[in-house]
Amino acid sequence: MSVTIITEAMAWRIVAQFVREITQNDEGGVLAVYVIGSLGGGYFCPGRSDVDTVIIVQNDAPITQEEIDVVATRYWHEFDIPKGFGSIMMREHELFPPYDRSRVEDFEFSVEVARLKIQGKQVYKSYRLADVPMPSRDDLICDAIIMENWLDNEFGYPMFDKLKITGCINCILGYMRRYLMIEQGVYEFNKHKVIDSYLQHSPPLVDLHLFQRVQVALHDPSLGQGQLLNELRRFGTQMRDYMNIRLLSLDLSR
C-alpha cells in the first residue's frame, strides 16, 4: 500500500482547506488563524512533520476547543499527517497574562503564546501580535511547575524509565529548551537546533558523546535502541532533577 508523503506545499493546502471549513459559518467570531510549529517556523520536514495551527477568536465566540479538536482529528486521519494535526483555540483574553488556562488544562500555555509570537504565519485575517506580550520568566516558571506536577502524577518518579527512545529525546530537548527560555531568554523551537543552542549558552549539564548520538537518532529513531536508550534514561533523569531544582526550586525525587 502506497503512502502519500505530505510535502510542505501539500501541508499549506491542507491548512487552507481546514481554515475554509472552520470559518464557513463564522459570523465574525474568528479573528485570525496562524500556522506555528515546523511549518510556520520554516523547517517543515516532508513525511515527518506534523501541522500546528492557532485559532484566535473573540472572547464570546460560540465555537469551542472541543469542536475544533473534532475537525483537526479528522484532518489528521484523512490526510495521514505524521504525529497529528494540532489546533489550539485562543480566546482573545487568553493571549494575555495571567495564563489561567495552564492550570485548567495542565500544560504550558505560555509557551504556546511564545510560539505564536515567534513562529506564527498568518493564513486567515490577522491579529496585532505585536500588542501581545511575550510571557515573562515568572509565567514560564509557573507553567513549568504545573507541567512537572502533571508529569509526576502521570508517570511517577523516575519518569524516564517509562519512556521509549522518542519520548526520552523529546523530554531531554524540552528541558534544554526550558533552560534556554527561563535562564537565557532564548527561544529555540526547532528540535534539530536545540542542542547547538544549548551548548552556546553556558550549559550546566553536558554529555557531548550522548548529544551527538541524539542528533543521529533525531533523523532515525530506530537507531536508538539498547544501550543508547539506557543512557538517555540515565541522563534524562539527571537533567530533569537538576533543571527542576535550578529553574523551578522543585524536587520531585523525594
pLDDT over 90 at 3, yes or no: no
pLDDT over 90 at 13, yes or no: yes
Edge-first strand order for the sheet with 51-57 is 85-91, 51-57, 30-36, 121-125
pLDDT over 90 at 131, yes or no: yes
Contact in structure between 22 and 30 (CB atoms under 8 Å): yes
Residue 104 backbone dihedrals phi, psi, to 5 degrees? -70, -40
pLDDT attached to residue 1: 47
Can you state the percent helix, strand and coil of the chain, rounding each to 5? 60, 10, 30
List pLDDT tens digits, range 39-56: 999 999 999 999 999 999
pTM for the structure as a whole:
0.94
pLDDT attached to residue 223: 60
List pLDDT tens digits, range 79-104: 999 989 999 999 999 999 999 999 98
The mean per-residue pLDDT over the stretch 118-128 comes to 96
Taking only Cα atoms into account, the Rg of the chain, rounded to an integer number of angstroms, comes to 19
Q: Which residues are paired to 88 by β-bridges? A: 54
Q: In angstroms, what CA-CA distances link 92 with 31, 62, 145, 233, 246?
A: 9, 13, 24, 40, 33
- Report the SS3 class of residue 93: helix
The mean per-residue pLDDT over the stretch 157-175 comes to 95
